[in-house]
Amino acid sequence: MNYLFIVSSLIVLFYSGIEVQKIDGDSLIEELKGTHKKFIVKNLFDEDSVLKLSIKCDFNEILNDRSEESSYHDALMEIDSGLYSIRIKTRGIFRRKKDNCSLPPLWVKFETSEMISSVFSGYKKIKLVTPCGNTNLYEQNVLKEYLIYKIYNLLTDYSFRVRLAKMSIVDLDKDRKPINRYVFFIEPMDDLCNRVNGKNLKVKNIHPNFTDKRLVSLMSVFQYMVGNTDWSVKALHNIKLIVRDSLQKPVAIPYDFDYAGLVNASYAVPASHFDIPSVRQRIYNGYYKPMDELQKTLNIFRSKKTDIYRLVHSVKGLQKKYIDETIKYFDQFYKMLDHTKRIQYELIDKSRKE
């Protein structure tokens, strides 16, 4: 049976049944309709300035609520001299567990009517990535993960945008010192879908070869560049699929890069099906592409090299030690691109073919 026909049929079936999540809000939000979306994009993810915010909450209560059914907890956010009621809960899988991270990633939920005058106007909830612990090393890891998102933004619009923030968490327990760390917000899925005129396709077991071949090749080489094997298109593991219309193949969009060799988190390990000792050692998790197709993808990376290196140097808070380490890591990648035999060995001979 023709596999492509089956996949195409599934896409048509699910495309017709998928509903893009609409932003909730009161009558004021409704009156703004077409304009408030532009306001969100322009003010939150189109700008690179570092947000400065403070969150006051019962942080112990939040940290002790880490189950899959974790609840939202009341908090106050101060930003741009405004004070707003928000709700916070823990999220994630590995990083949510207390044994793994003392500071889990968070969902931040807004009262939309209150946020109308803030940079978060129009958002119902948004993901917040925090350091795994209250240390400089974990903070640098967050900045490197933020950098990975920003680099992929340079390569394609089919990517999650991010916004860096310097956040102070003030506990209601006055004896506990505030936590002051860099964090970043991730563009919500419905915003990404609206931006690229697509819809979220929640269908597993679609082979990468039946997704957009140009973009899956770009994504696979990018994951190799940053040393990440913690992803799977078929399993939808750290991958989202977007369908633009029923006649086009879905686009694979990566997220969650804390296991990347570039980040080099202390807890990160390579994917179990690869026999490599460390996430710092690159190995290609992409599928076979002939040299002529692969070179078209690699030319994108060659053309963006200057912009990528400039971006590395521009990340606020990233220490010189880690800037130099990142440049050296990327130098190894770009050195490979100068040698056809190495490209053949690393990205073709070692590619996945099942």
Measured in Å, how far apart are the chain's first and last C-alpha atoms? 18
Residue type, 331: D
Residue 40 has pLDDT above 60, yes or no: no
Percentages (nearest 5) of helix, strand, coil residues in the chain:
40, 20, 45
The residue ranges of every structural domain in the chain are 27-190, 197-349
Instruction: Summarize the confidence of residues 112-121 as an average pLDDT.
Output: 83
Q: pLDDT value at position 117?
A: 80
Mean pLDDT over all residues of the chain? Answer: 90
Answer with the residue of higher pLDDT: 189 or 44. 189
Instruction: Summarize the confidence of residues 281-293 as an average pLDDT.
Output: 97
**Which is it for the CA torsion 344, 262, 106, 49, positive or negative?**
negative
Q: pLDDT value at position 173?
A: 81
- Record the pTM: 0.88
Q: pLDDT value at position 8?
A: 53
Tokens of 279: 């996430």
d(CA 149, CA 160): 7
CB 347 within 8 A of CB 224: yes
Residue 26 has pLDDT above 50, yes or no: no
Q: pLDDT value at position 264?
A: 98
d(CA 199, CA 251): 10
Choose among 262, 252, 260, 109: nearest CA to 185.
Answer: 109
Tokens of 98: 């207390």
Instruction: Summarize the confidence of residues 126-131 as an average pLDDT.
Output: 98
Tokens of 80: 């741009």
CA atoms within 13 Å, Cβ hemisphere of 305: 14
In the chain, pLDDT over 70 holds for what percent of residues? 88
- 298-350 pLDDT, tens per residue? 999 999 999 999 999 999 999 999 999 999 999 999 999 999 999 999 999 99
d(CA 167, CA 344): 45
- 195-234 pLDDT, tens per residue? 999 999 999 999 999 999 999 999 999 999 999 999 999 9
- 1-11 pLDDT, tens per residue? 555 555 555 55
CB 45 within 8 A of CB 163: yes
Identify the three-state secondary structure at position 88: strand
Choose among 155, 194, 149, 175: nearest CA to 41.
Answer: 194
CB 77 within 8 A of CB 55: yes
